[in-house]
Homo-oligomer: A and B are copies of this chain.
Amino acid sequence: MAGSTFGNIYRVTTWGESHGAALGAVIDGCPAGIPMSEEFIQEYLDRRKPGQSQFTTSRREGDKAEILSGIFDGVTLGTPISVLVRNSDQHSNDYSNIEHTFRPGHADLGFTEKYGFRDYRGGGRSSGRETIGRVIGGAIASEVLYKLGVSVKAYTRSIGPIEIRKYDETVMRSDPLCMPDADASREAQDYIAEKVRDHDSVGGIIECRIEGLPVGIGEPVFDKLDAELAKAVMSIGAVKGFEIGDGFAVARSLGSENNDAFYMKDGFVQKKTNHSGGTLGGMSDGDCLILRCAVKPTPSIAKEQKTVNDCGEEVNLKITGRHDPVIVPRAVVVVESMAAMTVLDMMLRNTSAKIDTIEKAYRNCR
């Protein structure tokens, strides 16, 4: 139970250190009968791949997905799906200078205290490469959701102080920063370039929209839809805040402003506004679900920092090696993946809420 498994019905277990032989994921509980291929998963993996632009690390890996089980004749079998990605471009010696040093902003100290020692090669299990397994799980979840009419789309909302002013989906997927606003993206690129010159790094905000959710998804008490999404997204390294709908702005809002009025449209109950961000009382309310998270600046910077080593000596540290100056663009597909896995899991849990639905499932059995 050391926390490498996510989900209850749709359950993703990830494994792999950044500089070990390989990384991967096992997906258990995926419904049978979903079309699936290595190419489909690869598209998602390519979105988090390093070496795609000047703003991502120059470490170049194929990160090629290999399906080892659970899929036969192009369709999911209902059995666990095992997908593996080999580590190919490992510069373990890049890390020799940090083998005995606790890097500021990193988990080195925690690992040492918890386990008695640590895998110093590139962060081991707390490296960004750990997200490969998440993206595999998210790609497959997205395809199941597609069959159920649900879409999940994440994008960069802001980089440092530069925020998007419009939402253009056609731009979003090709933009090097995953921003749905080409102008804002250009400004953000300039901003990053400036900070890179200072040997520094920057943060930002990722937003995610989930459309097509039926009403009532999520469990009313501890396993609220928003609570599960919060855990999912906060479990991504470098994420320090999460909000849904109006989020932190509700603290200064009034009840009369924050409540969304209901009205009727096409025979369905709809909301005139969406301050709630698509959840009420922990369940989906039929509106677009909107969540946001704050991503901290990359902790590995070339600037000199003060720290200590594992002999308890105070030392100065400049982190060399290949590191993204900003985590945000590559984390976009990870946020999308975690959201997709969560929403699918909650939809599958929900099928046993009502006796009518269960009776229908078994009606023609015998």
Contacts and interface: CB of A to CB of B under 8 A. Distances in A.
Interface stretch (A50-58, A166-174, A279-287, A329-337): A279-287
13 contacts: A4-B79, A4-B219, A16-B68, A17-B79, A20-B72, A79-B220, A111-B216, A202-B254, A205-B251, A250-B295, A268-B366, A272-B306, A351-B351
B113 A72 contact: no
Given A20-B72, A68-B84, A355 B282 contact: no
Copy number in the complex reads: 4
Interface in A247-265: 247-264
A294 to B, nearest CB: 4
Interface in A317-348: 347-348
Given A2-B353, A31-B355, A231 B237 contact: no
B16 A69 contact: yes
A231 B118 CA distance: 28
Given A247-B240, A248-B205, A13 B255 contact: no
Interface in A207-250: 212, 214-224, 226-235, 237, 240-250
B15 A256 contact: no
A97 B64 CA distance: 36
B360 A220 contact: no
A238 B312 CA distance: 45
A223 B159 CA distance: 27
Given A102-B269, A115-B77, A220-B107, A1 B241 contact: no
Interface in A27-63: 28-34
